[in-house]
Amino acid sequence: MKNAAFTLINSAKGAIGMRSDGDAYDLVIIGGGVVGTAVYFRAALSFEIRSAALLEKHHAVAQVNSNVLANAETAHRGDKETNFSLPKALRMHAFYKYLVAYLKERGHGAYVELPAMVISTNVEEANLLRMRFKMLKPHYPDLELIGWQEIAAIEPKVVEGRNEDEKKHLYALYSKGHAVDYAQLAESFVREGDKEAKANGKEFHAFFRTKVFGIERDADNTYLVKTNRGVFRAKTLVISAGPYSLMFAKRLGVRHAENGLPAEEYAILPVAGSFHYTTEKFLNGKVYTVQDENIPFAAPHADRAVYNENETRIGPTAIVLPFFERHHFSTIVDFMKMGMLRPWDYFLTLLRVLGDPRLSRFELKNILYNFPILGKWFFLKWGAQKVIPTMRFRDLHFGRGMGGIRPQLLNLKTRKLEMGLGKFVGDSDNPVICNVTPSPGASSCMGNAIEDIELVESFLKERGVRNGS
Ligand SMILES: Cc1cc2nc3c(=O)[nH]c(=O)nc-3n(C[C@H](O)[C@H](O)[C@H](O)COP(=O)(O)OP(=O)(O)OC[C@H]3O[C@@H](n4cnc5c(N)ncnc54)[C@H](O)[C@@H]3O)c2cc1C
């Protein structure tokens, strides 16, 4: 009965979700950011996956966090993130290498190579950089530990205006790095995916203005993905829809890939990040500052913009805002609905997380950054001048329309904030993967796609064995 209803929607809307042979897609991907489009590209290279559809609610790819104005355009390598453990840094490095390999082969125009460093500004930070250098150097042969004279030769503005005492503690972990326009990269993933699929006689389609509002399953375990443009039938699903991935993970009853907790035990803490920018050249590349290991958001950093060497982007700030997508006020309702599923647990977890004095001090500082006029002054003193001491009030402009929302995961069971990416997976009876992707999700897109496609292939093989094909 259910199937008939779905077919009715399909035919009423012109059967847009149907494949040409009427069969279900091997894979349907929800979300056309850089993470979902990377999965689309990798799927096109797979022997197992013969058909795929990408569903994106906006008119084009990368309109939310992967947009060029939304993020810091950094390809993270793991060596300049001073709060990463060695295993975490090495995993990031492996994912970074996949990304750079793609960029060099197919991503022409979407990136620039430039100098990248993390600096110390006091004795404790200098000691930390020395220690990390020792730990990281065997794994990052191109990494250097440099002093202020060498920094001055690469980034003169980082040294200018510092007194002798400050210079004594100024060190940097330095190497070449990459700035990436993740929106262009997402476009290239779809273009290259389509090209590969066509060359191999596969059926791959990207559908825009196609919003998923529900997912059900029919008797033979095929997903029925309900959208405003009809129903798409899918054998497997990858959902990379930012914070909405968790919403679907809850509905589909899947579990956290690492700790096995049901998605029900999680909620989203939306942390908005804004940027200031300059209209004059200050830097040649990227300059990060040492990160507090208890705070999961990057310490303020300064980055030359991908397309404009005269623009330096400084930030991001971090402030909790009740939105799922920045500048899209309607998403406040979605946040309320999802947060309010277990309001008591959400409230207690939030209280515990924000009650940590280090995090509350950090949040207070970030709230101050958002005050009119005074906020810019605080940001200049505590953020921008830490990297570029000679920067003046008038050099800085608040980036209206810039920035995004990091969908940080709150564990309602342990009442803790979890760092990094969250993956929720089903099994061969419920073959779905849901990716929740705060920073550095964009840098991980290729590595993540490789892992997701391996899992999708195993789901499809098991389904084939079960159906005797
Ligand atoms: C301030 C800030 C700075 C950052 N800086 C960096 C950085 O320098 N380097 C880095 O690696 N990462 C950075 N990140 C993180 C990075 O931006 C994200 O990890 C990455 O963009 C996530 O990509 P995504 O494809 O998962 O999500 P998104 O780009 O948000 O895409 C999700 C897509 O899903 C679509 N969607 C949602 N719901 C539906 C639905 N129901 N139906 C259909 N489509 C749907 C949305 O429209 C959207 O296009 C930063 C993030 C922020 C906020």
User: Quick one: which H or E segment has residue 334?
Assistant: helix 331-339
What count of Cα atoms within 13 Å lies in the side-chain half-sphere of residue 45? 13
Residue bearing tokens 């990060």? 288
Closest residue by Cα to atom 33, ligand 1, is: 31
Q: Assess contact for 142 and 116: CB atoms under 8 A.
A: no
Is the dihedral angle over the CA atoms 194, 195, 196, 199 positive or is it negative?
Answer: positive
As a whole number of angstroms, the distance between CA 190 and CA 311 comes to: 29
Per-residue pLDDT of the chain (469 residues; tens, 9 = 90+): 333 333 333 333 444 556 766 689 999 999 999 999 999 999 999 999 999 999 999 999 999 999 999 999 999 999 999 999 999 999 999 999 999 999 999 999 999 999 999 999 999 999 999 999 999 999 999 999 999 999 999 999 999 999 999 999 999 999 999 999 999 999 999 999 999 999 999 999 999 999 999 999 998 889 999 999 999 999 999 999 999 999 999 999 999 999 999 999 999 999 999 999 999 999 999 999 999 877 777 788 999 999 899 999 999 999 999 999 988 889 999 998 877 778 899 999 999 998 988 888 888 999 999 888 899 999 999 999 999 999 999 999 999 999 999 999 999 999 999 988 999 999 999 999 999 999 899 999 999 999 999 999 999 999 887 777 6
Ligand 1 pocket: which of 29, 66, 211, 419 to mutate (most atoms <8 Å of CB)?
66
Q: What is the DSSP letter of 74?
A: B
As a whole number of angstroms, the distance between CA 240 and CA 29 comes to: 7
Is the dihedral angle over the CA atoms 394, 119, 173, 185 positive or is it negative?
Answer: negative
Give the angle 59-242-14 at the CA atoms, nearest 5°.
Answer: 40
The model's pTM is: 0.94
Cα 212 to ligand 1 centroid, rounded to whole Å: 17
CA distances from 177 to 34, 106, 108, 448 (A): 19, 18, 16, 20
| CB 305 near ligand 1, within 6 Å | no
Ligand 1 pocket: which of 16, 64, 190 to mutate (most atoms <8 Å of CB)?
64
Q: What is the DSSP letter of 256?
A: E
> Is 419 exposed, middle or buried (CB count within 10 Å of its CB: 0-12, 13-18, 19+)?
middle
Neighbours of 216 (CB within 10 A): 15
As a whole number of angstroms, the distance between CA 386 and CA 288 comes to: 10
| CB 120 near ligand 1, within 6 Å | no
Q: What is the DSSP letter of 161?
A: T
CA distances from 277 to 125, 304, 327, 386, 389 (A): 26, 10, 19, 15, 15
| CB 71 near ligand 1, within 6 Å | yes
Q: Is the peptide bond before 440 cis (omega within 30 degrees of 0)?
A: yes
